[in-house]
Amino acid sequence: MAYNLAELKTNLAKPPRICIYGGEGVGKTTFACKSHKPLVLNLEDGIPPALSSVPSVLVKTYAECMDVLEALYTQDHDFKTVVVDSLDVIEEMITHKVCVENRYTDISKGAYGAGYQARTAVWANFFKCLDLLREKGMTIILIAHAAVVKVADPLLPEYDKQSIHLYKTESLRVVEWCDVVGYALVKTYTTNDGKRNLATTAGEHVILTHSNPAYTAKTRYEMPDEIPMVWSEFAKYLYPTEQTANTKKTNKEN
């Protein structure tokens, strides 16, 4: 196929694919619910009471989850963001689906890793559906929990690292697929009273966005290493053109 280089155009910006992961109660769901016109796939039934007005769908099976994604793709609506809360539960649903369909008592019972391969194939279809929503103009926010994993570095002794709480191949897939992987935490400091180390915090909730040996993170945007865990602050780096336009509009009105 011959290409006419004179007709090539720059890539049009697409909505971001975001994964926010961290410990229990750090504020991941609250953060995502503040995004632009969200619909929450409420798999954990964990939306805070203060955010009960945020549109959500309580889903109990993988099939129900896919029905919601299909509706978002085929029906007319005003939602601009889909929030999946959380990936941990999606993995459990997919594992159950694969085991039931193949009559496995456990995902590891498939010969030569067949169970894991079947689960990976279902995950691939899940991300394909999310990509279709992204093509339609929707921002994707995935919420996950954190887990400590062992890193076998050929240049260093084995060490611990915070990462996404999924099976290792699927955790890597999420990191590769997303445009932003943010590690959410409450900043903690240590002091020493002469006998032991004491942990304390000023209550600062932040999102870490750049890779570090201590935790998994990445960004394809120009972001600082640390951002306050507030959607309006985070969104400045996702939609800079839109943010600039809004600022100019506000200044003109003033």
Bigger pLDDT: 198 vs 235:
235
Helix (H, G, I), strand (E, B), or coil: what is residue 19?
A: strand
Amino acid identity of residue 23, one-letter, is G
pLDDT tens digit string along 95-117? 999 999 999 999 988 888 899 99
Has residue 200 got a pLDDT over 80? no
Segments in the chain forming alpha helices (H): 28-33, 62-74, 87-102, 114-135, 168-177, 231-235, 240-253
- The number of beta carbons lying within 10 Å of the beta carbon of residue 160 is 11
Mean pLDDT over the full length of the chain: 89
More confident call, 215 vs 110: 215
User: For residue range 41-96, what is the model confidence (pLDDT) as tens digits?
Assistant: 999 888 888 898 999 999 999 999 999 999 999 999 999 999 999 999 999 999 99
**pLDDT tens digits, one per residue of 140-181:** 999 999 999 988 888 888 889 999 999 999 999 999 999 999
For 173, the token pair is 């897939």
Chain centre to alpha carbon of residue 216: 12
Q: Which CATH class is domain 13-253?
A: alpha beta
Q: What is the pTM of this model?
A: 0.88
Q: What is the pLDDT of residue 111?
A: 85
Which residue's entry shows tokens 């997303």? 178
Classify strands 81-85 and 38-42 as parallel, antiparallel or unpaired: parallel
CA distance 155 to 142: 32
Residue 183: strand pairing partners: 21, 208
Q: Which of 243, 230, 241, 167 is nearest to 20 (CA)?
A: 230
Alpha carbon 231 to its chain's center: 14
135 burial via Cβ count (<10 Å: 0-12, 13-18, 19+): exposed
Confidence of residue 120 (pLDDT cuts 50, 70, 90): very high
Rounded Cα distance between 136 and 138, Å, is 6
pLDDT confidence of residue 104: 93
Question: How far apart, in whole angstroms, are the C-alpha atoms of residue 248 and residue 71?
Answer: 36
What pLDDT score does 129 carry?
97
Q: What is the mean pLDDT of residues 218-231?
A: 96
User: Has residue 245 got a pLDDT over 60?
Assistant: no
The answer, yes or no, to whether residue 11 has pLDDT greater than 70, is: no
